[in-house]
Amino acid sequence: VNLSELGEFALIERIVARLPEYRNDVWVGVGDDVAVLALDGDTCQLATCDIQVEGVHFQRKYTTSHQLGRKVAAINLSDIAAKGGTPEHFLISLALPGELDVRWVDGLYDGLREEASQYGADVVGGNVARIQGPVVVDVFLLGRVRREELLLRSGARQGDRVLVTGSLGEAAAGLALLGQEGAVVAEELLQAYLTPTPRVREGRAIAKRGVATSMIDLSDGLSSDIGHICEQSGVGARLWADLLPISDATRDVAELVGQPAVRWALEGGEDYELCLTVPLGQEEDLVAAVKEETGTELTCVGEIVGREAGRRIVLPDRSEGPLRSRGWDHFAAGVEGRATDAP
Amino acid sequence: VNLSELGEFALIERIVARLPEYRNDVWVGVGDDVAVLALDGDTCQLATCDIQVEGVHFQRKYTTSHQLGRKVAAINLSDIAAKGGTPEHFLISLALPGELDVRWVDGLYDGLREEASQYGADVVGGNVARIQGPVVVDVFLLGRVRREELLLRSGARQGDRVLVTGSLGEAAAGLALLGQEGAVVAEELLQAYLTPTPRVREGRAIAKRGVATSMIDLSDGLSSDIGHICEQSGVGARLWADLLPISDATRDVAELVGQPAVRWALEGGEDYELCLTVPLGQEEDLVAAVKEETGTELTCVGEIVGREAGRRIVLPDRSEGPLRSRGWDHFAAGVEGRATDAP
């Protein structure tokens, strides 16, 4: 069986099954985007990594290396944010073809450094190697969180509300615009795709209030990522399509290219917004507090239900259907709306 | 300027020059193989990564994925060992072609896990991505060390003795045997190259005795790696060729293929032995203690001299010459005795 046939998620399950029991200091291990490690005292170490491959995750003709540097930093910052953590130290591994211009590497590090420094993090190490093939950028980020503020995927309970930060589908809209010559260019959508904003401040603001029961960042798309919360928490979820926060610009582009904006919001991925669950009755105070502290909107998009109710989407006409969990599978062919398939 | 023209070490210098000042908690940053980060209390966090690229660092026809898993773990374990640290947590990033058989990945993780567990470390995270190109395996390793036991490259002083663990040149001898059909196969040399032994126990045994003034692991070759100690410590070094610990098997293979064994010992690289400096008069007790605790020999191979004396090698006929620092430069073409140039 080769990897294309097996698929990414089955591969990860297979890897997890082959690993031994962890020591006591490993609270969360392989299978989550972030490893959670108990340190001494009341602090947890957070460790995450994300590998980006030219031709799969990015194309040099559509992104500058500066934009790419910002984005790879943001992707990892977003993972730390989803645990309620503070990012601290980056390590960068690069596999680079020998013919690459050194200014490309300069731009990458400049972008990385700029994005990291916005959140108080440093680039402290890494290594470079030659490759006869595409550019590979692998970013590793360490962070910390107080144990009592740590948010996992596993705490959602029936009756909780599902909230998301910001708006959804913008990255997919930006991707749809990439390379569309002569199209109306909505700069903020291109930026949403090329240089997403990690919700580090929002993650901290949410975590320190202590009311959220679970959190994840939206890298694969809401329909897929809420599934991780459901699996880890042993619950189901019901989302309402007409509550999804979708900007006018995203709706305009969706109309332009003949795609349903709701689908981008659910399945587009790469929005790097946070999705969290909050007990019913406590969401309003949290929404107000996060808005006050960070300026960012939290929007209620659904509710947590019993596991037996499954994962459902309520359409605008009040009909319900199963929530398709079309996660971004790195080894599945033909997933639409991703850099792989950019024009 | 492209990367082949610039070279790896100039690239790293360029990267370092573009990074801002670190925060106070970063004791060692970019430019060393290991980042050293101050934690609370008397402990330092160690973080290292190493990226291995098919066709550059390994070839699938010469190494099984199980051997490769062991080796990539060992490379990172060796870096932590060189700081006197205890390895704890691995994260693994993989870029894999879709046509790769899943059993190859199984073997890689099995090898990684086996090697990690020998030293009490866990694989706690990582991620996988598709690549249209060579297999890329990037390994991150976190470790810890007590501040008072931390060994850096920067503490060597004039008059110190230079010691190494084990024997040198075995990996280069093993590499020379790879693919030599019909040659006398010395299994221990092949193993030295394909599955090197990281000196984690030796590193701890050395660190806790508190007499070593600096340490590094021999990944690029003694002549190059002692140079890092010299640069960071502001000293010179004089090595004696006829003190270099070279096994009979290595000498036999060197003779067989018409290469000088001393050159393999100095420049071959990938031995993953430790090189350390110890004040004159304290080396004998340390050698005995490490032998007693780990069974591993420490051999004195030279002395630290003033910076102005430079880096010298004393040949068996007592003539002296400059120590050529032919480090493994990932972007330089035609470096001999490396997997790149394996038959």
What would the pLDDT profile of B110-143 be if each residue is shown by its tens digit? 999 999 999 999 998 888 999 999 999 999 999 9
Interstrand relation of A214-217 and A274-278 (parallel, antiparallel or unpaired): antiparallel
Each residue's pLDDT tens digit, B8-66? 878 888 888 887 777 778 888 887 889 999 887 799 999 999 999 999 999 999 899 99
Q: Are B112 and B132 in contact (CB under 8 A)?
A: no
At A333 the pLDDT is 39
Confidence of residue A121 (pLDDT cuts 50, 70, 90): very high
At A133, the amino acid letter reads G
| Residues of chain B neighbouring A91 (CB-CB closer than 8 A) | 35, 47-49, 140
pLDDT (0 to 100) of residue A262:
92
Burial of A158 (0-12, 13-18, 19+ CB in 10 A): middle
| Chain A partners within 8 Å of B26 (Cβ) | 89, 122, 124
**What are the two backbone dihedrals, phi and then psi, of residue A271, each rounded to the nearest 5 degrees?**
-75, -25
CA-nearest of A121, A25, A37 to A76 is A121
**How would residue A177 be classed by pLDDT, with cut points 50, 70 and 90?**
confident
pLDDT of residue B257: 87
Give me the residues paired with residue B240 across strands: B314
pLDDT reported for residue B326: 63
> Residue B131 and residue A133: Cβ atoms within 8 Å?
yes
Closest CA to B235 of B281, B287, B279, B285: B279
Measured between beta carbons, the chain A residues lying within 8 angstroms of B114 are: none
Supply A17's token pair: 């099954």
Strand partners, A306: A235
What average pLDDT score do residues B330-339 get? Answer: 41
A126 → closest Cβ in B2, B49, B97: B49
Percent of all residues in chain A with a pLDDT value above 70, rounded to a whole number = 93
Environment class of B182 (CB within 10 Å of its CB; exposed 0-12, middle 13-18, buried 19+):
exposed
The average pLDDT across B157-186 equals 85
Task: Determine the 3-state secondary structure of A231 from DSSP.
Answer: helix
Kindly list the residues from chain A whose CB atom is less than 8 angstroms away from the CB atom of residue B125: 29-30, 32-35, 47-49
**pLDDT for A338 beyond 80:** no
A5-35: pLDDT as tens digits: 888 878 888 888 877 777 778 888 887 889 9
Shortest alpha-carbon distance between residue B39 and chain A (Å): 9
Write the pLDDT tens digit of every residue in A200-253: 999 999 999 999 999 999 999 999 999 999 999 999 999 999 999 999 999 998
Q: Which of A92-96, A190-194, B140-144, B322-326 has the lowest mean pLDDT?
A: B322-326
Q: Which of A12, A47, A55 sits opposite B89 (nearest CB)?
A: A47
Per-residue confidence (pLDDT) for residue B244, from 0 to 100: 96
Half-sphere exposure of A278 (CA within 13 A, CB side): 24
Q: Alpha-carbon distance B244 to B301, whole Å?
A: 6
C-alpha angle B223-B228-B233 in degrees, rounded to nearest 5: 125
**Nearest residue to A199 via CA among A322, A75, A42:** A75
Please state the separation of Cα B27 from the chain's center in Å: 21
Q: What is the mean pLDDT of residues A180-185?
A: 62
Please give the Cα distance from B172 to B249 (Å, whole number): 12
A292 three-class SS: helix
The yes-or-no verdict on residue A340 having pLDDT over 60 is no
- Residue B105 has a pLDDT of 93
Phi first, then psi, for residue A40 (nearest 5°) are -65, 160
Q: Using 50, 70 and 90 to split pLDDT, how confident is the model at A343?
A: very low
d(CA B241, CA B255): 17
Q: Do B20 and A117 touch (CB under 8 A)?
A: yes
Q: CB pairs below 8 Å between A and B: how many?
A: 267
User: Cβ contact (<8 Å) for A29 and B136?
Assistant: no
Return the residue in A22, A66, A91 with the most chain B beta carbons within 10 A, the one to mutate for interface testing.
A91
**Higher model confidence: residue A31 or residue A275?**
A275
Identify which of A50, A102, A129 has the shortest CB distance to residue B127: A50
Please judge whether A136 and B51 are an interchain contact, meaning their C-beta atoms are less than 8 angstroms apart.
yes
Among B4, B24, B52, B123, the strongest candidate for a mutation testing the A interface, having the largest count of A CBs within 10 A, is B123
How far does A148 lie from chain B, in Å, by closest CA?
A: 18
How many Cα neighbours within 13 Å face the side chain of A252?
11
Please judge whether A140 and B140 are an interchain contact, meaning their C-beta atoms are less than 8 angstroms apart: yes
pLDDT at position B286 over 90: yes
pLDDT band at A336 (very low <50, low <70, confident <90, very high): very low
Distance CA B254, CA B167 (A): 14
Residue B88 near residue B47 (C-beta atoms within 8 A): no
- Other CB atoms within 10 A of residue B191 CB: 16
Look at residue A92 in the predicted model and tell me its pLDDT.
94
Q: Choose from A30-39, B74-83, B188-197 the range with maximum mean pLDDT.
A: B74-83
pLDDT at B334: 35
Nearest beta carbon to residue B18 from set A3, A110, A131: A110
Helices marked H in A258-330 — which ranges? 261-267, 283-294
CA-CA-CA-CA dihedral for A80, A81, A83, A84, to nearest 10: 130
The dihedrals phi and psi of B162, each to the nearest 5 degrees, come to -105, 125
Mean pLDDT (whole number) for A103-109: 94
pLDDT at res. B337: 35
Nearest alpha carbon to residue A187 among A195, A226, B93: A195
* Contact: B133, A131; criterion CB under 8 Å: yes
Sequence-distant (6+) residues with CB within 8 A of A195 are A67, A70, A71, A74, A115
| pLDDT (0 to 100) of residue A335 | 33
**Tokens matching residue A305:** 């239900």
Q: Which one has a higher pLDDT value, A59 or A326? A: A59
Give the C-alpha distances (Å, rounded to integers) separating B320 from A210, B18, B169, B277.
68, 39, 21, 21
Q: Residue B330: which pLDDT band, with cuts at 50, 70 and 90?
A: low
Write the residue in B8, B19, B25 that is nearest to A128 by C-beta: B8
pLDDT of B181 reads: 62
Contacts A123 to B, Cβ<8 Å: 19, 29-30
Are the CB atoms for A26 and A35 separated by under 8 Å?
Answer: yes
The minimal CB distance from B14 to the residues A34, A100, A102 is found for A102
